[in-house]
Structure 1
Amino acid sequence: MASERPTPTGPPAPDLRIVESRVYRGGNIWSYQPAIHLVVDLGVLEGYPTDTLEGFTEGLLAALPGLENHTCSTGMKGGFVQRMLDGTWLGHVAEHVALQLQQEAGHDQRRGKTRMVKGSPGLYNVIYGYSDENVGLAAGRLAVRLVNHLVQPEEGFDVAEELDLFLRRAQRLAFGPSTAAILEEAVSRDIPYIRLNSGSLVQLGQGVHAQRIRATMTSRTGALAVDIAGDKDLTTRLLASAGLPVPKQETVRTADGAAAAARRIGYPCVVKPLDGNHGRGVCLDLQSEEEVRESFVVAEDESRRGYVVVESYITGRDYRCLIVGGRMQAIAERVPAHVTGDGEHTVAELVELTNADPRRGVGHEKVLTKITVDDAAIALVKEQGYAMDEFPLHGEMVKLAMTGNMSTGGISIDRTFEAHPDNVEIAEEAARMVGLDVAGIDFICPDIAQPVRETGGAICEVNAAPGFRMHTHPTVGEPQFIAKPVVDLLFPPGAPSRVPIIAVTGTNGKTTTSRMIAHIVKGTGRKVGMTSTDGIVIDERLVVKADASGPRSARMVLQNPRVEFAVMEVARGGILREGLGYDRNDVAVVTNVAPDHLGMRGIDTVEQLAEVKAVVVEAVPRDGSAVLNADDPLVRKMRRRCSGSVVWFSLEPAGTRIRDFIEDHCRRGGRAVVLDSTDKGDMIVIRHGRRSMQLAWTHLLPATFGGTAMFNVANAMAAAGAAFASGAGLHEIRQGLRTFTTSYYLSPGRMNQINVHNVDVFVDYAHNAAGLQVLGEFVDRYAASKAGTTDLGRISRIGMVATAGDRRDEDLVELGAVAARFFDVVVVREDERLRGRRPGEAAALIESGARAEMAKEGTRCRQVEEVLREDDAVRHCMARANPGDIVVLCVDSHARVFAELEAMTHTAQAGTHSDLVGDPDLDPAALQQEAQATGDEAAAELT
């Protein structure tokens, strides 16, 4: 918040507006939990804190009295009110109003913060928690309108009406009481969940451990059992065949048929839809053929297939028995909607008084539902000898509904511990006969405490997906915690619900490191789901081709039922846009932090970039690990953000300051992956406490090109540390690194080597100065290793470079300068997506950087050329190369580039594709279709 009061620039006006809104669906730079982020502009109100706005605080408290309970930064009840009286800015007020609006909707949210946007007076970041993102966003919008209205009344804005509309919308979007009860139990057990639609379809758990629920139907609920329960005639016949007490029943399709069935069954009788629910269309205690015919129309309207059931009327009380996993868990007596006379109020007035109970709401909004007075209710009251404007006698009960459903305004009385054992056994047997794992058995009998076979009574219905509200929130009696046996059914005690997650971030090397980790884990026999900038890979199959390093891709992996282990490449953009997309990762890997993407989304310095990437470290739980690059000072600082243990990796030799730091860490029981130099080469060693475990010679790992690609040595060490921290064995890690190659099929677009007419071609993704620097150093070492192996004299190096157009001008210039230091010929191209630049603009800046570097003494580069299209640039580079030369292609579309190189390899004339080897991944026609299918919009959707 601002610390000094700016001078007002005009009279107070309703200027507060939302400039930008984001929904973080996981850990983010502002909060460990999901949050909504609004950027608001106060306009002229920047000069008017709350103590300068006459009547503002009083008006706000009148609209939302619950704000008096907000503690704010004082930590005491009433703290926020005191802040308003002392004077606080309206962005801060909007945060608290948004939280309170969610409280009004039944969402217990108390987390929030408001901070000024640096360098932008009047702009504020407003961050607050949410339970449902749509409700949270709506709360933010209404909060801004309410604040503006209190500053200057908005014509047509009625606070009570707007609040009612908000609550109704929240009720439509909210989980029902049954789903909410199950989710509350799941969260208490640390079982994660993902909402799969706008209704009540929810996934509990992750990957291979996932289970689904829809209200109280579960993954274990059989479709056949649901169909049987929905057919009341078939259910009755099945129960009767097991000797269970059921009413006489017939199914009809016409009013004449209903009248005939009633005569055979006898009066009184019941008419109800064959496949209805919630008591809709049920007509009870019918005494004549005329009533049966009238009721047939009502029941037929509620029947999905047009069939209507006529059955004998069983007198007694209405009980609902809840059976979970074959065992009785709760019993509730359901009392129909009614009022009780007091001799002073009419029936209509008594209904109003009853509906004024704060426990009653609309639909499933609260534990009780408001009584609705419709034509059927008025007719029922008339049958009892009253009109709505008449006074019932004191103590007399007047029914307004025939059925005891909670959804029609009924109440419930807990009878769980009163049921006779014989009745419990009957209910459990009924659920078994139908085949439901969660079933609601409707008993009609004089008293559930007496055996129904002696006192009379019957099972009138078996319900799939029974509601829990009457049991979890009975009107009278003790609540029953029935969500526990449901969750036990899906996740027995000790059963896992999560898959291990390794998150990899950094400026460079994160894709290769992710692939190495996935390859190691695959060798342990587990099916791996991986996200990367190339797409989503499930069990080594690329299922989505796009930049999939964002939170939506992470959720897609965690929803896949084949995934046993998840490896997530986490990009800066996804964190800033939506957070992580999951609540925590078991292992976090940070490869490095270098200047890249600066000047975007408020990230202007490399230190701010490090703060963003530290989010994955903050998402490590106490029993997790962070694998950090000790050689990078910004990454080293992240150790303070980790709740778990730290595993260091470093390329520094023994005796240096960094290695001494690591040795001290290991002496205290810590873990690290280090490089030990010997006469035979460099050995990767895993240190754990005082133990040293040799892993592999760097020059024997295929991905390191004989130990010359030091960046891949570092990536291999990071992957080894992550695999070790996640429980992989030494042999499994060693075997994974030994078999991981930078071939196009294991690591497309990352250090792929191909020989084209005796020219060494390397295809890589280096797109920033730091990445190109380490790639150039590799070229130096690789060229030195080839010295003397060719008779053609000096080996020429040709480099094709480019980067995204949304980088800063200075970043593009620096990229060109680095390229000039390592390549004899620099060919500058542009990406297909210019990202706001004019054609040729980005290339011109890169070229200017290269030419400026060429002016310096000792610079390697002799020539800089612009060839903007990637295909043309590839062909140009290859045309400039002689046998024995080295060509480095920093690509945008690795598939198209490899298709071009394969064509050159297998045809006499470079650039034609008539004799391609037929690999579908390198087929130009297929690539063109793929490019159209995964365009900018698809990439943006998944990033």
Structure 2
Amino acid sequence: MAERPTPTGPAAPELTIAEARVYRGGNVWSYNPAIHLVVDLGVLEGYPTDTLPGFTDRLVELLPGLENHTCSRGVKGGFIERMREGTWLGHVAEHVALQLQQEAGHDLRRGKTRAVKGQPGRYNVIYDYNDETVGLAAGRLAVRLVNHLVQPEDGFDFAEELDGFLRRAQRTAFGPSTGAILEEAISRDIPYIRLNSASLVQLGQGVHAQRIRATMTSKTGALAVDIASDKDMTTRLLGSAGLPVPKQETVRSADAAVTAARQIGYPVVVKPLDGNHGRGVCLDLQDEDEVRAAFDVAEAESRRGYVIVESFITGRDYRCLIVGGRMQAIAERVPAHVTGDGKHTVAELVEITNADPRRGVGHEKVLTRIKVDDAAVELVREQGYGMDDVPPEGQMVKLALTGNMSTGGISVDRTFEAHPDNVEIAEEAARMIGLDVAGIDFICPDIASPVRETGGAICEVNAAPGFRMHTHPTIGEPQYIAKPVVDLLFPPGSPSRVPIVAVTGTNGKTTTSRMIAHIFKGIGRKVGMTSTDGIVIDERLVYKADASGPRSARMVLQNPRVDFAVMEVARGGILREGLGYDRNDVAVVTNVAPDHLGMKGIDTLEQLADVKAVVVEAVPRNGFAVLNADDDLVRKMRRRCSGSIVWFSLQPPGSRVREFIDDHCRRGGRAVVLEPTDRGDMIVIKHGRRSMQLAWTHLLPSTFGGTAKFNVANAMAAAGAAFAADAGLHEIRQGLRTFTTNYYLSPGRMNLVNVRGIDVFVDYCHNAPAMRVLGEFVDGYADQKAAQTDLARVSRIGMVSTAGDRRDDDMRELGAVAAHHFDVMVIREDARLRGRKAGVTAELIAEGAREEMAKGDVRCRQVEVVLQEVDAVRHCIARANPGDVVVLCVDQHAEVLHELETMTKSAQAGARSNADGVSDPDLDPVELQTEAQSSGDEAAAESQEAADAVPATT
């Protein structure tokens, strides 16, 4: 922190947003979705709030709600105290952003501000949000306001800016009906995903998902909505069921409307056939002129040009809400009006009424402001008043004929006053139309008396009825009608979530994810999996890309076939957007090794472990974290887990780690360990004092006879995760025994291909820790192969590379490690250089290998550079002889496997051609021998030509 200057003020405000991120799930800063701004204070780093005269008072004057912020003091007014004592302006921007969102109706309180290490004047500002566009806009406006209070900005009017911000928030916010359903869902721990910028929302996950749009649900029939939208058809159906409905006719011209009105009898109502929200409805029409004028109004609001003329039913306007065939709430709707006080004019009374803080624009608040238009002025005139007249005290002056809330009306709760006969009529009407959620509009003298005796009728049935009049009545008790709607979609006791297993770690997470998915596929589950290769739904690759981020996770959870999710979670996705969900039932951490260091502020292994630990922190109390006990940094993550721990370890009995695990199991914990025997290593699952043998490591295809120790560890992690997710012992065993590293089950991960008698392994190894364990496997495999054959020595050729965004030292270390395990190293580069010039990455790897070779005691004798991947593959195969082992560390595994397959087919075709020649009796054996020798000379020449074409040979 800079030294505090005397209170003279900075020359100019320089608070800027250097970077903005939106976390859509748990992240390194918060368990909740959050906005992350990196702000640069510039010269303001030297000016805390106590050095800026009047700053605090002016800010509180503009945003009085800041007085309720507790900050670190834990009491109201704590933040104001901090400002008066002196705090930095990044911290102020955090609280202002939260308060701006509260002004928009978002009840958010969590935030934090932390200095960026090594960058004086820069701060990480993190705060919660409900809607990301509103949250980002709040951050930008907060920065502008802070700068403005330090030094006024020309043309900046905070009141105007705040009004614009609130309008934007209102446009993107959920409506009151959708909001009520979501609040109920959240209270039941039902997750939701917003599917568009309006009101289309998915409740639940995967196979359990249901959708809503406002109050229409996945169970709302399209045919029922069409019927409800056709008022003529609605009336006919209700009338055929013996329900009270008004007389009506459908017309398409003003003359026909007049004729219909004569036949029905005045007074009448004219309304559009397929309108909504009371638009175009004209009531109590007494003569032909009024009907003609009303026809034009109704026709303008009709989508198909049809207009209904029906008998005018006198009485009060009631809205009955039916959910699942049962009455849930009744509200009396009173049209927009003012009540005279003998002092103010009608216009002044409207202004006074609209000043009610409960009234806003549209659905922004629980009541809508009364709009004074030509129709309202005319209605006032018909009641004997002008807008500038003063009505007597107690006199009600209507400004609208319909009682819709959207036109400024109010509601009075009448739920418990309705007569049982009226309730039965409304429920029967909803059943006749077929709506799961219906708004039945009754007009009758009193809902407490049976309409069949007192008169009245159902004038309309509405699909997607609004909830605002019931959840926020102007008079009476609110009705919690979202509960039956959510009950309809998720009956009590029914699931809304699919099990989620999240897998992270530096190395092995893709293979572990595939093993877990394979186990549960064998059980019969429809598994959705994300990985660095793409999104797989029930073994079908639906999206090919690096899909280890939060957006891919949401794509899986939106798929209606998925009943089990396995998420590979990469460091980059966590830093960029956080997790794509709120929690995972099982978290797996394979290891933490130096990779991606020096990127996005992650410079140490401890910081990288903090990022990986996000999936552990997302485990609920009834969940599990499967952790590698052999890794010190992973072992420390147990303190961040709210659930139970399942350890896995390769360490033998008697080691310090095994003693730690045994103590854990004695206390009822779970673990997956190796038990060495005379027949080999046995994977054992321990639960409390029970020990359950799972499988011999050498019998698992993915371990290549037990030599691939890293896949032994991956199999143990997968077994621990499957056991935690309630898979049976037999299912886990069967899954691991049938999981192979062929290209179909595990593309690009330890795929073994035999090309011309050469064992070729294709893997994604791209960092030094992975190369170390891969090299140990190659050593063991080559020695095993030499012992089983007549080969005196198996040569090992490795194609090595890494991504260009790694640190120089990491690249050199990769080369140094590889030099211990391969006789020949062929170094290539990825197609994407990631900011480096061509050849630079390869040269750094080669430099590390050469330095290690200079020290002696390494296997490598030759380092070659072939930049293009396919060319490097061809060169490796050309350098190998039958019986040798080639390891290809690939970037584009599909292209590499295609090239290897082409080589294999070419070799097979040549063998068939030679076989055909030998079987031909017309060929002279001497000629055949000569041709074979010639063919061999040509092949040798081609091999030598390929070797000569390779540059940079050491």
Q: Same fold (TM over 0.5)?
A: yes
Matched, 1:489 2:488: yes
1:373-772 mapped onto 2 (5 Å cutoff):
373-772=372-771
CA contact (8 A) 1:361 1:369 kept: yes
Q: Which residue of 1 aligns with 2:54?
A: 55
CA contact (8 A) 2:19 2:37 kept: yes
CA contact (8 A) 1:61 1:67 kept: yes
CA contact (8 A) 1:317 1:446 kept: yes
Q: Which residue of 2 aligns with 1:863?
A: 862
Q: Which residue of 1 aligns with 2:931?
A: none
Q: 1:501 to 1:773 in 2, by over 3 A?
A: same
Q: Which residue of 1 aligns with 2:256?
A: 257
Tell me how far apart the structure 2 counterparts of residues 910 and 571 of structure 1 sit (CA, whole Å).
43
Q: What is the TM-score of this pair, normalised by structure 2? A: 0.95
- CA positional deviation for 1:12: 4.3
- The CA deviation string for residues 382-421 of structure 1, in whole angstroms up to 9 with x for no partner, is 1111111110111000001110000111000000000000
Q: Which residue of 2 aligns with 1:821?
A: 820
Three-state SS of the structure 2 residue aligned to 1:822 is coil
CA contact (8 A) 2:2 2:46 kept: no
Q: Which residue of 2 aligns with 1:17?
A: 16
- CA positional deviation for 1:857: 1.6
Q: Which residue of 2 aligns with 1:235?
A: 234
After superposing on structure 2, the runs of 4+ consecutive aligned residues of structure 1 that deviate more than 6 Å are 6-10
CA contact (8 A) 1:6 1:46 kept: no
Three-state SS of the structure 2 residue aligned to 1:523 is helix
Tell me how far apart the structure 2 counterparts of residues 172 and 219 of structure 1 sit (CA, whole Å).
24
- CA positional deviation for 1:6: 7.5
Amino acid at match of 1:658: V
Tell me how far apart the structure 1 counterparts of residues 374 and 734 of structure 2 sit (CA, whole Å).
76
Q: What is the TM-score of this pair, normalised by structure 1? A: 0.96
Tell me how far apart the structure 2 counterparts of residues 89 and 788 of structure 1 sit (CA, whole Å).
70
Question: Which sits farther off after the overlay, 3-12 or 677-686?
Answer: 3-12
- The CA deviation string for residues 627-684 of structure 1, in whole angstroms up to 9 with x for no partner, is 0000000000000000000000000000000000000000011000000001110000
1:274-285 mapped onto 2 (5 Å cutoff):
274-285=273-284
- The CA deviation string for residues 771-801 of structure 1, in whole angstroms up to 9 with x for no partner, is 1110000001101111233444321100001
Amino acid at match of 1:167: L
Name the % identity: 84
Amino acid at match of 1:172: R
CA contact (8 A) 1:50 1:89 kept: yes
Tell me how far apart the structure 2 counterparts of residues 56 and 610 of structure 1 sit (CA, whole Å).
41
Matched, 1:247 2:227: no
Q: 1:460 to 1:841 in 2, by over 3 A?
A: same
- CA positional deviation for 1:908: 4.0
- CA positional deviation for 1:4: 6.2
Three-state SS of the structure 1 residue aligned to 2:887 is strand
Matched, 1:113 2:112: yes
Tell me how far apart the structure 1 counterparts of residues 345 and 205 of structure 2 sit (CA, whole Å).
56
Tell me how far apart the structure 2 counterparts of residues 11 and 201 of structure 1 sit (CA, whole Å).
48
Three-state SS of the structure 1 residue aligned to 2:303 is coil
CA contact (8 A) 2:8 2:52 kept: no
- The CA deviation string for residues 270-321 of structure 1, in whole angstroms up to 9 with x for no partner, is 1111111111111111111111111111111111111111111110000000
- CA positional deviation for 1:14: 2.0
- CA positional deviation for 1:498: 0.2
Amino acid at match of 1:78: G
Q: Which residue of 1 aligns with 2:164?
A: 165
CA contact (8 A) 1:328 1:424 kept: yes
Amino acid at match of 1:831: D
Three-state SS of the structure 1 residue aligned to 2:442 is strand
Tell me how far apart the structure 1 counterparts of residues 29 and 35 of structure 2 sit (CA, whole Å).
10
- The CA deviation string for residues 513-532 of structure 1, in whole angstroms up to 9 with x for no partner, is 00000000111111000000
Question: Which sits farther off after the overlay, 782-791 or 548-557?
Answer: 782-791
Three-state SS of the structure 1 residue aligned to 2:819 is helix
Q: Which residue of 2 aligns with 1:153?
A: 152
Matched, 1:176 2:169: no
Three-state SS of the structure 2 residue aligned to 1:727 is coil
Tell me how far apart the structure 2 counterparts of residues 396 and 302 of structure 1 sit (CA, whole Å).
32
Q: 1:427 to 1:10 in 2, by over 3 A?
A: closer
Matched, 1:286 2:285: yes
CA contact (8 A) 1:414 1:479 kept: yes
Q: Which residue of 2 aligns with 1:919?
A: none
Amino acid at match of 2:777: F
Question: Which sits farther off after the overlay, 507-516 or 362-371?
Answer: 362-371
Amino acid at match of 2:687: H
Q: Which residue of 2 aligns with 1:72?
A: 71
CA contact (8 A) 1:904 1:910 kept: no
Three-state SS of the structure 1 residue aligned to 2:849 is helix
Tell me how far apart the structure 1 counterparts of residues 785 and 662 of structure 2 sit (CA, whole Å).
37
CA RMSD of aligned residues (A): 1.2
Q: 1:367 to 1:263 in 2, by over 3 A?
A: same
Q: Which residue of 2 aligns with 1:334?
A: 333
Q: 1:54 to 1:638 in 2, by over 3 A?
A: same
CA contact (8 A) 1:903 1:910 kept: no
Q: Which residue of 1 aligns with 2:357?
A: 358
In structure 2, the gaps of 5 or more residues are: 911-954
CA contact (8 A) 1:178 1:469 kept: yes
Tell me how far apart the structure 2 counterparts of residues 5 and 667 of structure 1 sit (CA, whole Å).
57
Tell me how far apart the structure 1 counterparts of residues 341 and 303 of structure 2 sit (CA, whole Å).
42
- CA positional deviation for 1:376: 0.8
Q: Which residue of 2 aligns with 1:902?
A: 901
CA contact (8 A) 1:334 1:404 kept: yes
Tell me how far apart the structure 2 counterparts of residues 702 and 305 of structure 1 sit (CA, whole Å).
67
- The CA deviation string for residues 40-92 of structure 1, in whole angstroms up to 9 with x for no partner, is 01111111111111111111111111000000000000001111111111100
Tell me how far apart the structure 2 counterparts of residues 40 and 531 of structure 1 sit (CA, whole Å).
33
Amino acid at match of 2:62: A
Give the number of aligned pairs. 910
Q: Which residue of 2 aligns with 1:887?
A: 886
Tell me how far apart the structure 2 counterparts of residues 791 and 518 of structure 1 sit (CA, whole Å).
40
Tell me how far apart the structure 2 counterparts of residues 860 and 688 of structure 1 sit (CA, whole Å).
44
- The CA deviation string for residues 688-740 of structure 1, in whole angstroms up to 9 with x for no partner, is 11100000000000000000000000000000000000100000000000000
Three-state SS of the structure 2 residue aligned to 1:261 is helix
Q: Which residue of 2 aligns with 1:86?
A: 85
Q: Which residue of 1 aligns with 2:810?
A: 811
- CA positional deviation for 1:3: 8.9
Tell me how far apart the structure 2 counterparts of residues 279 and 153 of structure 1 sit (CA, whole Å).
47
Q: 1:499 to 1:9 in 2, by over 3 A?
A: farther
Three-state SS of the structure 2 residue aligned to 1:804 is coil
Three-state SS of the structure 1 residue aligned to 2:788 is coil
CA contact (8 A) 1:627 1:648 kept: yes
CA contact (8 A) 1:12 1:151 kept: no
Tell me how far apart the structure 2 counterparts of residues 4 and 617 of structure 1 sit (CA, whole Å).
40
Three-state SS of the structure 2 residue aligned to 1:787 is helix
Matched, 1:309 2:305: no
Q: 1:401 to 1:22 in 2, by over 3 A?
A: same
Tell me how far apart the structure 2 counterparts of residues 412 and 59 of structure 1 sit (CA, whole Å).
40
CA contact (8 A) 1:186 1:192 kept: yes
Tell me how far apart the structure 2 counterparts of residues 177 and 909 of structure 1 sit (CA, whole Å).
70
Amino acid at match of 2:135: G
Q: Which residue of 1 aligns with 2:937?
A: none
- CA positional deviation for 1:256: 1.6
Amino acid at match of 1:419: A
Q: 1:756 to 1:7 in 2, by over 3 A?
A: farther
- CA positional deviation for 1:7: 8.9
CA contact (8 A) 1:754 1:762 kept: yes
Tell me how far apart the structure 2 counterparts of residues 14 and 237 of structure 1 sit (CA, whole Å).
70
Tell me how far apart the structure 2 counterparts of residues 4 and 72 of structure 1 sit (CA, whole Å).
24
In structure 1, the gaps of 5 or more residues are: 912-943
